[in-house]
Amino acid sequence: MPEGDTIFRAARTLHRALAGKPVTAFESVLPALNRIDEDAPITGRTIEQVKAVGKHLLIHFSGNLILRTHMRMNGSWHIYRAGERWQRPRRDMRIVVSTADFEAVGFTIPVAEFITATRLSKDPNLRRLGPDVLSDAFDPAKVIENLRSRRAVEIAEALLDQRVLAGLGNVYKSEVLFMSAVHPFARVSDLSDEQLSSIVETARRILKVNVSDGLELMTTYGGMRKTTHRSAPTERLWVYGRARLPCRRCKTAISVRKQGADARLTYWCHQCQRHP
């Protein structure tokens, strides 16, 4: 599932390829988008910017129009040079935004809508978001305040609540809690301010590292997340996806369990992350 870092990288890549350029073609299989395109054509508008807000990706067009997309579990944006062969079948296409040089293709995107800037500022999907972990205006004190308002919630579940902290997903949830030596099933009320500060600081630091300017990926998700200092593909993460394998620190077998209403998998080390 795309998390905040992958949406951030996708927005940055799309912005660099598309910003400042006129749209030469627009295509979608989504009726709601096509109705807007028929009334106020997207072709001919200039792409002003592409940005990420938490897990939302926003493409700003001239004429006060914004395309908001959310990837949920399986959606992704690809960027191709004009005429380049797509790496996914056309049946998975939901949106195409073309310029003279590039095609931005949204595959299996479940949430997409056109919205004005005025309506965007009032959009409940965005207004309810907590501080964006990758924003320059990130406010760690507000995140801790949000966490404290959910005292009875298990910390791993609280971190997935985008109203608490926008941009953190299931992979980083497990990784950040391991790095902070916090048991994922501890309730927020069990944790000290120092522990919460460590969790928030670690989340911010790790996601910033994973969007550092470097190789840009063609797709929204490239599977390149890294929380350890190791580069080998099988050694890039501390606990996520490593059930029953030895902990990289203490050799205890990594545990895994479904957690929360959505039964998301949580990974942790019993020895390194003691329950309060």
Residues 21 and 53 in one domain: yes
**pLDDT beyond 80 at 224:** no
Residues 78 and 198 in one domain: no
The tokens describing 151, both together, are 């005292």
Annotated catalytic residues are 2-3, 55, 264
| Percentage of the chain modeled with pLDDT above 90 | 75
Confidence of residue 225 (pLDDT cuts 50, 70, 90): confident
Taking the chain, what is the end-to-end CA distance rounded to the nearest angstrom? Answer: 30
Residues 11 and 101 in one domain: yes
Element (H, E) at 104: strand 102-107
Residues 110 and 222 in one domain: no
* Cα 107 to Cα 94: distance, rounded to the nearest angstrom: 5
**pLDDT beyond 70 at 2:** no
Confidence of residue 215 (pLDDT cuts 50, 70, 90): very low
Give this prediction's pTM: 0.80
Tally of CB atoms within 10 A around 173: 26
* CATH number of residue 236's parent domain: 1.10.8.50
Asked, for residue 247, whether it belongs to a domain, the answer is yes
Residue 129, SS3 per DSSP: coil
Buried b (16+ CB within 10 A) or exposed e, 104-122: bbbbebeebbbbeeeebee
Residue 242's pLDDT is: 97
Rounded mean pLDDT, 14-25: 96
CA distances from 2 to 7, 172, 221 (A): 7, 11, 6
Q: Are the beta carbons of 267 and 254 closer than 8 angstroms?
A: yes
Residues 54 and 148 in one domain: no
**Minimum mean pLDDT range among 75-79, 152-156, 251-255:** 75-79
Residues 122 and 169 in one domain: no
Rounded mean pLDDT, 237-265: 96
Q: Are the beta carbons of 94 and 28 closer than 8 angstroms?
A: yes
Length of the chain: 276
Asked, for residue 132, whether it belongs to a domain, the answer is no
Asked, for residue 84, whether it belongs to a domain, the answer is yes
The tokens describing 57, both together, are 């990706």
Residues 261 and 165 in one domain: yes
Residues 156 and 250 in one domain: yes
* CATH number of residue 9's parent domain: 3.20.190.10
**Minimum mean pLDDT range among 31-40, 59-68, 157-166, 212-221:** 212-221
**pLDDT beyond 60 at 113:** yes
Domain holding 95, by residue range, is: 4-127
Residues 106 and 173 in one domain: no
Residues 156 and 254 in one domain: yes
Confidence of residue 55 (pLDDT cuts 50, 70, 90): confident
Asked, for residue 219, whether it belongs to a domain, the answer is yes
Residues 151 and 257 in one domain: yes
* Cα 29 to Cα 92: distance, rounded to the nearest angstrom: 10
* Cα 154 to Cα 183: distance, rounded to the nearest angstrom: 9
Asked, for residue 275, whether it belongs to a domain, the answer is no
Query: Angle 193-209/140-148 helices, nearest 10 degrees?
Result: 130
Residues 171 and 224 in one domain: yes
Residue 219's pLDDT is: 52
Quote the number of domains for the chain: 2
Residue 87's pLDDT is: 92
Q: Which of 129, 134, 165 is nearest to 147 (CA)?
A: 165
Residue 220's pLDDT is: 52
